């Protein structure tokens, strides 16, 4: 891991199994408009947010209750010069037990400050992991984006352009 890859961590009293199940329920915390499967090795799913962001993601490592690694196979950003900035990057979820709690460490390997999308993506991931996914883990209901309902200030700004 580069010190520059985006990383955020949450801790919860819930079990590693509950955290793992929440992470793989991508529709429950990221977007209700996910198309495809999101739980098993080699599953492929597509994410889109209006005409602003689309990507195709494949699960390349799944270790039950411990780790999930995605690879972004295709990506399109409307708001960057290089429309494919995420292509080949690896969003990674690592689950461990620390001090009587379950820790989820999310690292988007390859998402670095040199990317034009870095600030917007950092803000988006921070919201979806620390807010929506955390709520899904603790209450059973996350706050994924839905058609016409941007979640972050940056999503709202991009939707208005």
Q: What is the pLDDT of residue 159?
A: 57
Q: What is the pLDDT of residue 153?
A: 66
Spatial strand order of the sheet with 67-77 comes to: 6-12, 101-109, 90-98, 67-77, 53-63, 44-49, 35-36
Banded model confidence at residue 146, pLDDT cuts 50, 70, 90: confident
Note the pTM of the prediction, 2 decimals.
Answer: 0.91
**Under CATH, domain 7-160 is a member of which superfamily?**
START domain (3.30.530.20)
Tell me the residue length of the chain: 161
Banded model confidence at residue 49, pLDDT cuts 50, 70, 90: confident
At 37, list the tokens: 């499967």
Over residues 77-102, mean pLDDT: 96
Q: Domain map of the chain by residue range?
A: 7-160
Q: What is the pLDDT of residue 20?
A: 98
Q: What is the pLDDT of residue 5?
A: 97
Residue 4 has pLDDT above 80, yes or no: yes
50 vs 55, higher pLDDT? 55
């Amino acid at each position: 891991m580069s010190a520059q890859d985006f990383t955020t961590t949450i801790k919860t009293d819930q079990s590693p199994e509950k955290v793992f199940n929440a992470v793989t329920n991508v529709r429950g915390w990221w977007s209700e408009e996910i198309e495809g499967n999101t739980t098993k090795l080699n599953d492929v799913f597509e994410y889109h947010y209006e005409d602003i962001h689309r990507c195709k993601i494949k699960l390349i490592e799944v270790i039950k209750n411990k780790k999930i690694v995605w690879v972004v196979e295709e990506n399109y950003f409307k708001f960057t010069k290089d429309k494919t900035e995420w292509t080949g990057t690896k969003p990674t979820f690592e689950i461990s037990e620390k001090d009587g709690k379950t820790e989820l460490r999310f690292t988007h390997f390859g998402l670095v400050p040199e990317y034009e999308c870095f600030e917007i993506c950092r803000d988006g991931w921070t919201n979806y992991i620390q807010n929506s996914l955390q709520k899904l883990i603790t209450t059973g209901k996350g706050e994924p984006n839905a058609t016409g309902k941007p979640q972050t200030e940056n999503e709202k700004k991009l939707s208005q352009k």
